[in-house]
Amino acid sequence: MPRRKDPRIPDAVLDQLLAGADAKTVFDPNGLLDDLRKALAERVLNAEMDHHLAGEEPGKEPRLCFMWAL
């Protein structure tokens, strides 16, 4: 029998996220999954911006960077 891998997200964290939520509505539009996706995207974008701004030298003109979606 294959051995079960340890979960990347501990069960205690998942229990905390699901506390007070109806498990049937997790995948609904504007449900828990959408809220998690938005929160993670916001955190990643904020971290990227912090990293970008930390690399700028004071008094130096910031470079313009453009990202094109394909």
Per-residue pLDDT tens for 3-39? 778 878 888 998 888 888 888 888 999 888 999 999 9
Number of domains in the chain: 1
Residue 59 lies in a domain: no
Q: Check if the beta carbon of residue 14 is closer than 8 Å to that of residue 8.
A: no
pTM of the model: 0.59
- Report whether pLDDT(70) > 50: no
Q: What's residue 45's pLDDT?
A: 92
Residue 9 lies in a domain: no
Q: Check if the beta carbon of residue 18 is closer than 8 Å to that of residue 26.
A: yes
Residue 18 lies in a domain: no
Q: What's residue 43's pLDDT?
A: 93
The string of pLDDT tens digits covering residues 45-56 is: 999 888 888 876
